[in-house]
Structure 1
Amino acid sequence: MTHVTRPGGPLADEPAPDGRHAVVVGGGLAGVTAALALADAGVRVTLLEGRPRLGGLAFSFRRGALTVDNGQHVYLRCCTAYRWFLDRIEGSALAPLQNRLDVPVVDVTKPEGRRLGRLRRDPLPVPLHLGRSLATYPHLPLADRAKVGRAALALKGLDLADPALDTQDFGSWLTAHGQSARAVEALWDLVGVATLNAVASDASLALAAMVFKTGLLSDPGAADIGWARVPLGELHDRLARKALDSAGVRTEVRTRVTSLSQNGNGRWSVQVPGETLDADTVVLAVPQREAYELLPAGALDAPERLLDIGTAPILNIHVVYDRKVLARPFLAALGTPVQWVFDRTDASGLTQGQYLALSQSVAHDEIDEPVAVLRERYLPELERLLPRTRGAEVLDFFVTRERTATFAPAPGVGRLRPGARTEAPGLYLAGAWTATGWPATMESAVRSGVGAADAALSALGRPRPRHLFEIQEAA
């Protein structure tokens, strides 16, 4: 094969014992996972990423003295694949979980001012673990609190394998099960918007049921929240690259694949500018539209379905104050455009004042708004939400925009999401948008990478690494 060159000169080929070579296209969580799994099985792996860093849509960058995440990412205890990934790159200690689910929820709609409520669990079996929290949740009328419990039990009884769930929207299901508009706003969408990137009326019942059944109704600790206490780049780029290097993976950034083709001998040619790589196996771990452009003819029965998978934006607003204005690590908000607020002071390297990040999902109406407009809109909202901001000086205000942050979890999306295998022998798909059963999360990305590696290893006749995450162990 032709060498790929990076700073330091051309890379020598070090073939695996049986000469098998896999090329993974895309260095997000899906691609990194697939590359690690294949390398751990003894396959020689080359990972190609067009950007100058790994991590996909969960990355960091420098802004002056700050290290900024492009957006706030969290995971739950039930995200067993992502937890395995953190273990694999030796990063678990840098992104710990809560000891017990505890979400402060501040409502600023009341005439008497802001009101604090909490969603937290007790050390009791499901569904009693959330019983006291829901019974005392101040943001819902008493009648709604009782109806929430009945809807949760009905949700627990749904069969996630039933394809009919994907044809229905979650909002209509909630209405049919007695959930008021206030219950949807103050509870179901509070969780669903952050995990699905869609309001209930726009979300597939199948994906919503999966989130709530797995996160809230499977195990008492399933919804405990974890997040990185360091910049995401420390995990998804530096530690991931270290793990890849240790596994023997050749990692090439700033290397964009321009075409894929299969040779007459069944091997693959992967074209990058000025170079061609030969491979026995290719894992295409890129966004769905990019996958569509690279797929050779006949690789999928209906490749145009990939273009029918919609996308949804997430807007992130970053505010640096001259003093501490938020005492908690994070909070959720009601009665304001603000959705979730996180303290990123320590992770960013800020030594004075406080740095808050606002994560705004379902941001279709705001994703292209000028920074000045967003500043005028959100600073007063933060003053309503956090009284200590009223006397604080804003040292910096900026935004990051992910216009295609996730696939849109609309009803019917399930039939559009392809599995790992294609019709072309030796070509596999990975990405949070593939058929993992999960919405577009870090968990879905890692699961897709494991699935693609499993399929490739089976075709290559290579044994599965014993420590590789077992997809069957979670719903």
Structure 2
Amino acid sequence: MQGAVHIVGAGLSGLAAAARLVEAGRPVIVHEASGHAGGRCRSYRDPQLGMTVDNGNHLALSGNGAALAYLDLVGGRSAVVEHASAEFPFIDIAAGTRWTLHINQGRLPWWLLVPRRRVPDSRIVDYPAILRLLSARRDAKVSDVLRCEGPLYERLWRPILLAALNIDPKEADAAMAARVLRETFGLGGGACKPVVAEGGLSKAFVDPALKYLGERGGVVRFNRRLHRLAYEENRVAGLVFDGDVTPLGPKDQVILAVPPKPATDLVPALDAPVEHRGIANIHFRVDRPVGGPRVVGVVNGLADWIFVYPDRISVTVSGTDLSHMGRRDLAYRIWSEVEQVVGFDLATSPNEPPPWQVVRERRATFAATPAAARRRSRTRTEFRNLLVAGDWTDTGLPACIEGAIRSGDAASRVAIEASR
């Protein structure tokens, strides 16, 4: 008889692990400390806006194979929209310049030969310098191998890497940056098409997974905060929750799929990044559909990316939670930039934004520095029935949807192999 797999944490890494395990016929019990699943990738009903919004904007790409395979498995693929081509509109607010990055389908970057498809004020000879990242030494920062200035950097590499790494690219681990570029630009436009959950993250990534688990006998228990692990020699023998202990049988396994701080609190010897970066997301309710691009990159503004939906506009500021700014000042400042980007006034009265909400995440992602790269945990631990998952583990990628799901897939594979 196969033992059960207890998964602690119902974020994307935990849900991905659970889905793969029930697919393989393993008994699964998911324990989630909060009253909802999805972790940092979910939707919620906001009373101030009177609508459902995402806690943060997450953009997947068509080359994110693990994420798309997960959506196919749990039945969430129909809830995302994949853009027809790899097009990314940008605006430099300071200069008033607009352009669209249009990457051709194949691996060879033919788009560089067309001046109007290149970044304004950049030259074709500027682009090969990015290849230095691919051979950077271990522990190198992006600024050690790449000249972090000039039109091409400021208008392309900085916004792309900032979005992917959630840290000033100058400080970022060069190997992580190179991994991102290999799996996107390096594969051509076919891997770079935006994939957007226009109806909300939960409808695509969370709700279908919970349904998939329930239909296959998986159990998800909410409001179950794990206080400690009970050990017996080199294995976990029990899970200690509020008021009760769940004993583990000799064949039972545990996948710890929680953020790095709770993980190291539970397993002090575990390696994990200790430094984090924040993200600020500002949501605006608009009462009529907005035409034009669905995703716009912003250069020389406070906003970094603007996501335009039929009923709302959501703005992301990466690498900081902007805690030094008041909520109202932040909303008004961001809205002034949104008006420049969309090109017409959506507010109900002059100089007033539509209903807004500010969501700050102080510890949104681990800081993707060389120091953090050295501290990322492997899937296996020193305890034979304890595995770890999470976008902070050693996936090679920065904290992102793809990394979270890859980590869950890796933990499920190890759990299945160990039970054979």
TM over 0.5: yes
Question: What is the SS of the residue equivalent to 1:136?
Answer: helix
Give the conservation status (yes or no) of the 8 Å contact 1:431–1:449: yes
Q: Distance in 2 between matches of 1:211 and 1:182?
A: 21
Question: What is the SS of the residue equivalent to 1:56?
Answer: coil
CA drift of 1:442 comes to: 0.5
Distance 1:367 1:239, change over 3 A: farther
Structure 1 position 128 matched with structure 2 position 109: yes
Give the conservation status (yes or no) of the 8 Å contact 1:268–1:281: no
Q: Distance in 1 between matches of 2:335 and 2:188?
A: 39
Q: Distance in 1 between matches of 2:189 and 2:305?
A: 23
Question: What is the SS of the residue equivalent to 1:221?
Answer: helix
Q: Distance in 1 between matches of 2:120 and 2:191?
A: 23
Structure 1 position 336 matched with structure 2 position 316: no
Q: Show the counterpart of 2:86.
A: 101
Structure 1 position 370 matched with structure 2 position 326: yes
> If the length of structure 1 is used for normalisation, what is the TM-score?
0.82
The letter of the residue matching 2:343 is P
Q: Distance in 2 between matches of 1:236 and 1:226?
A: 12
Give the conservation status (yes or no) of the 8 Å contact 1:285–1:431: yes
Give the conservation status (yes or no) of the 8 Å contact 2:301–2:337: yes
Question: What is the SS of the residue equivalent to 2:356?
Answer: strand
Query: Percent identical across equivalent pairs?
Result: 27
Q: Please, which moves more after superposition, 318-327 or 209-218?
A: 318-327
Q: Show the counterpart of 1:385.
A: 341
CA drift of 1:293 comes to: 0.8
Q: Distance in 1 between matches of 2:69 and 2:344?
A: 39
Question: What is the SS of the residue equivalent to 1:395?
Answer: coil
Distance 1:454 1:182, change over 3 A: same
Q: Show the counterpart of 2:76.
A: 91
- In the alignment, structure 1 segments of 5+ residues that lack a partner are 1-17, 462-475
Give the conservation status (yes or no) of the 8 Å contact 2:2–2:419: no
CA drift of 1:387 comes to: 3.1
Alignment equivalent of 2:127, drawn from 149, 172, 180: 149
> If the length of structure 2 is used for normalisation, what is the TM-score?
0.92
Q: Distance in 1 between matches of 2:347 and 2:30?
A: 50
Give the conservation status (yes or no) of the 8 Å contact 1:323–1:392: no
Alignment equivalent of 2:370, drawn from 398, 402, 411: 411
Residues 234-266 of structure 1 deviation map (CA, whole Å, 9 limit, x = unaligned): 223321110111221111011111111123695
CA drift of 1:131 comes to: 1.7
Alignment equivalent of 2:409, drawn from 436, 441, 450: 450
Q: Show the counterpart of 1:168.
A: 140
Spell out the pairing of 1:292-311 with structure 2 (5 A cutoff).
292-295=264-267, 300=269, 303=270, 305-306=271-272, 308-311=273-276
Asked which structure has the greater CA Rg, the reply is: 1
Distance 1:174 1:140, change over 3 A: farther
Q: Show the counterpart of 1:187.
A: 156
Q: Show the counterpart of 2:120.
A: 140
Structure 1 position 208 matched with structure 2 position 177: yes
Give the conservation status (yes or no) of the 8 Å contact 1:97–1:225: yes
Alignment RMSD: 2.1
Structure 1 position 46 matched with structure 2 position 3: no
Spell out the pairing of 1:398-437 with structure 2 (5 A cutoff).
398-437=357-396
CA drift of 1:272 comes to: 1.2
Q: Distance in 2 between matches of 1:325 and 1:266?
A: 55
Q: Please, which moves more after superposition, 232-241 or 206-215?
A: 232-241
CA drift of 1:232 comes to: 1.3
Structure 1 position 72 matched with structure 2 position 41: no
Spell out the pairing of 1:192-271 with structure 2 (5 A cutoff).
192-263=161-232, 266=235, 268-271=237-240
The letter of the residue matching 1:128 is P
CA drift of 1:368 comes to: 5.1
Q: Show the counterpart of 1:466.
A: none
Q: How many residues align?
A: 412
Give the conservation status (yes or no) of the 8 Å contact 1:313–1:367: no
Q: Distance in 2 between matches of 1:213 and 1:317?
A: 31
CA drift of 1:52 comes to: 1.0
- In the alignment, structure 2 segments of 5+ residues that lack a partner are none
Q: Distance in 2 between matches of 1:324 and 1:86?
A: 27
Give the conservation status (yes or no) of the 8 Å contact 2:103–2:188: no
CA drift of 1:326 comes to: 5.2
Q: Please, which moves more after superposition, 200-209 or 271-280?
A: 271-280
Structure 1 position 119 matched with structure 2 position 104: no
CA drift of 1:154 comes to: 4.1
Q: Distance in 1 between matches of 2:394 and 2:234?
A: 30
Question: What is the SS of the residue equivalent to 1:357?
Answer: strand
Give the conservation status (yes or no) of the 8 Å contact 1:129–1:220: no
CA drift of 1:414 comes to: 1.8
Q: Show the counterpart of 1:316.
A: 281
CA drift of 1:379 comes to: 2.6
The letter of the residue matching 2:53 is V
Q: Distance in 2 between matches of 1:391 and 1:270?
A: 52
CA drift of 1:151 comes to: 1.6
CA drift of 1:150 comes to: 1.6
Question: What is the SS of the residue equivalent to 1:217?
Answer: helix
Distance 1:335 1:268, change over 3 A: same
CA drift of 1:39 comes to: 2.2
Q: Distance in 2 between matches of 1:391 and 1:428?
A: 50
CA drift of 1:413 comes to: 2.0
Residues 80-112 of structure 1 deviation map (CA, whole Å, 9 limit, x = unaligned): 0001111111111211321210111112222xx
